[in-house]
Structure 1
Amino acid sequence: MLQANKEEDVFSFEQYMASKAAAVNEALDLSLPLRYPEGLVDSMRYSLLAGGKRVRPVLALAACELMGGDEAAAVPVACAVEMVHTMSLIHDDLPCMDDDGTRRGRPTNHVAFGVSTALLAGDALLALAFEHVARGCAGVPAARALRAVAELGSAVGADGLAAGQVVDLASEGSPVGLPTLEYIHVHKTARLLEASAVCGAVVGGGTEEEIETIRRYARRIGLLFQVIDDVLDVTCSSEQLGKTAGKDLEADKATYPKLLGVDGARAYAAELVAGAEAELDRFDADRAAPLRHLARFIANRQY
């Protein structure tokens, strides 16, 4: 566990996360009003509004603010990355993927609505994400909005999430070394967190150097997120996690604890936190505080 320091006295990360998550939840609710066909929209809202830590949207908002941008400029991309993330969870849980029955403490989307509706709900959320950026970034210079769209698209496709998922599925039951495991999680998990931060920095008006610095920061916390996820999968119960524990072990998937041991995985997590925080040293300390604490939050999470 990482220790708190004097920064905690002047910055409450818990309050920051709560306020940003509330703003994102309100914006997500407004982005997807109930309408015909009810079955599809209910399915989309069921997963999109199911709660969660909202790490990716908060990352986008914090990166925008770090660049001196207004939170309002980043709300559309914050919502979009959560829509993409939700799509990935719906599809990841399908019988043809990980075949999970529980997500965030309740039935997965395909259990609640059926496989075909869940599949289409994920597709519709992906389309809505790009529409939401294109329409919602009206006050942002067009070049910045276009770059955010391109960044998000890259994070989802054959250079991002889809690539990581394919290699992950193909690797089940086979010996996998650390380079392949890193490839899987850089693409399947870290890439979307990276895009969240980069999109926030882009619409916030960051320079090229600043944007690339934030990219490196986010790549590290993206890997950190997966390392901690792997550790929790073998150290927590299904009730604690809100999803099925031990699924990776059952599917004979490579994980960081499997390759490095639990202690080795935790040591790697500490390296990633330190590296991520070091990337923030060039920025104003007050503006960087949310991102610094976000790295520690991910490292210390218990579910």
Structure 2
Amino acid sequence: MTIQLEKYKYDLDQLLVNRLEQLNLPQDFQQAVQYAINAGGKRLRPILMQETFRVFSEETYKVTDVMLALELVHTYSLIHDDLPAMDDDDLRRGQPTIHKKFDEATAILVGDGFLTYAFQLIANSSYLDAEEKVYVTQQLSQASGFEGMIQGQFLDLKSEGETISIDQLELVHRYKTGALIRAAVKIGAYLGGAIPPQIESLDRYAFYLGMTFQIQDDILDVTGSEDELGKPIGSDISLHKNTFPSLLGLEQAIEWREDCMTKAENALNEANVNNENLIAFINLFGRRNN
């Protein structure tokens, strides 16, 4: 893979830690904040944003604050997703989840803080002009709110133990998983200077990339290893969640994943973007083991 994932991840981790350390917080609350941000994670969404931006511009400093904001929104969603009222997970990336390490109230407040601080970073960014701040705020708030991730989480929880169609499952993950991935690509393309038709095609690329990611996630819950995933295998089954393998069968779920990967690459071609790193993301999302 040509993307320097480990280097980009290291740089992002350092920026996140430094920004959050500058906050004037009580020591025990700062400890929880740092635990949450140091809990691991591949930082794929902000790196995807950066690589999309780099297709059109090399001035990557411009997306720095937005990348941090995106990762904070994503981390907030995971903290809340793990809570007892949601997916009730004890482990995240092999470590105790925030509410297990500290308590539920602290976990909720850390998540709330990450979400709101993300938009503070965008508003205060010296790299973006006013029009760019409006676009970024609109895209990220829509993707993380009622018309995006929040609705997806609600639909996912509501469908537990129910029989739903494959179209309904696709709708769940269009919002829950796909919305932030699409925002990452659209924002990166817009800030980099892509023209509207290219942004539209890249949005389709991101949609199929998100579906690829989720289908592979569901497949790994059946076929993966607990050591690699950092959480128990079969957690979706224990929660009576609808997944692509449970609705389609494992073999057909794999076929759907392959079809989404092909459609993602076709969308890149439509955007007239023959970028090896964006193609590499298709394989990364579809072939990952954790």
Normalised by the length of structure 2, the TM-score is: 0.95
Deviation larger for 146-155 or 21-30:
21-30
**CA–CA separation in structure 1 for the residues paired with 2:203 and 2:38:** 27
1:239 equivalent in structure 2: 227
Identify which range, 61-70 or 224-233, moves more after superposition.
61-70
Aligned residue type for 1:150? Q
C-alpha distance in structure 1 between counterparts of 2:7 and 2:228, whole Å: 24
Determine if the alignment matches structure 1 residue 298 to structure 2 residue 275. Answer: no
1:202 maps to which of 190, 194, 200: 190
Query: Does structure 2 retain, via aligned residues, the 8 Å contact 1:64–1:203?
Result: yes
Find the aligned partners of 1:96 and 1:271 in 2 and give their Cα distance: 34
What amino acid is aligned across from residue 31 of structure 2 in structure 1?
D
Which residue of the partner structure matches residue 151 of structure 2? 163
Residue 133 (structure 1) aligns with: 122
Closer/same/farther in 2, CA of residues 218 and 187 from structure 1, 3 Å limit: same
Instruction: Give the whole-Å Cα distance in 1 for the aligned partners of 2:214 and 2:273.
Output: 28
Does the Cα contact within 8 Å between 2:151 and 2:175 map onto a contact in 1?
A: yes
Q: Residues 175-194 of structure 1: matches in 2 within 5 Å?
A: 175-194=163-182
Question: How do 1:217-232 and structure 2 match up within 5 A?
Answer: 217-232=205-220
Is the deviation greater in 89-98 or in 42-51? 42-51
Structure 1 residue 69 displacement after superposition: 4.7
Mapped to 2, the partners of 1:283 and 1:160 lie a distance apart of 28
CA contact 1:69–1:203 (8 Å) conserved in 2: no
Are the counterparts in 1 of residues 204 and 267 from structure 2 also a CA contact under 8 Å? yes
Q: How does 1:112-127 map to 2 (within 5 A)?
A: 112-127=101-116
Q: CA deviation at 1:255?
A: 0.2
Give secondary structure in 2 for the equivalent of 1:32: helix
Aligned-partner SS, 1:221? helix
Name the stretch that deviates more: 200-209 or 83-92. Answer: 200-209
Using the TM superposition, give the Cα deviation of residue 284 of structure 1 relative to its aligned residue in structure 2, in angstroms: 4.7
Counterpart contact for 1:100–1:244, Cα < 8 Å: no
Shift of 1:217: 0.8
Provide, for residues 93-140 of structure 1, a one-character-per-residue CA deviation record: whole Å limited to 9, x for no partner. 00110110000111000001100000000000000111111212x222
2:41 counterpart (34, 45, 52) = 52
CA distance in 1, matches of 2:159, 2:72: 27
TM-score for both structures, normalised by structure 1: 0.91
Match of 1:278 in 2: 266
2-structure distance, mates of 1:141, 1:269: 39
The AA in structure 1 aligned to 2:153 is Q
- Would the aligned equivalents of 2:61 and 2:127 in 1 still touch at CA under 8 Å? no
Q: Which letter maps to 1:298?
A: F
Q: Deviations over 1:163-194 (max 9, x none)?
A: 01111111111101111101111100010111
Name the SS for the 2:164 alignment partner.
coil
Give unpaired runs (5+ residues) of structure 2.
Answer: none
Q: Using the alignment, how far apart are the partners of 1:295 and 1:134 within structure 2?
A: 32
- For the 8 Å contact 2:39–2:95, the answer to whether it is kept is no
Give the number of aligned pairs: 288
Q: Is the 8 A contact 1:28 1:49 kept in 2?
A: no
1:153 aligns with 2:147: no
What are structure 1's unaligned runs of at least 5 residues?
A: 1-11
CA distance in 1, matches of 2:207, 2:278: 13
Instruction: Specify the code of the residue in structure 2 equivalent to 1:279.
Output: A
Structure 1 residue aligned with 2:83: 94
Cα deviation code 1:49-69 (max 9, x no counterpart): 222111101111011111225
Partner of 2:16: 28
Partners of 1:269 and 1:39 in 2: how far apart?
43
Q: 1:70 aligns with which of 51, 59, 73?
A: 59
Query: Relative to structure 1, is the Cα distance of residues 259 and 284 closer, same or farther in structure 2, using a 3 angstrom cutoff?
Result: closer
Native 8 Å contact 1:186 1:219 kept in 2: yes
Instruction: Report the Cα distance in structure 2 between the residues aligned to 1:45 and 1:81, rounded to whole angstroms.
Output: 17
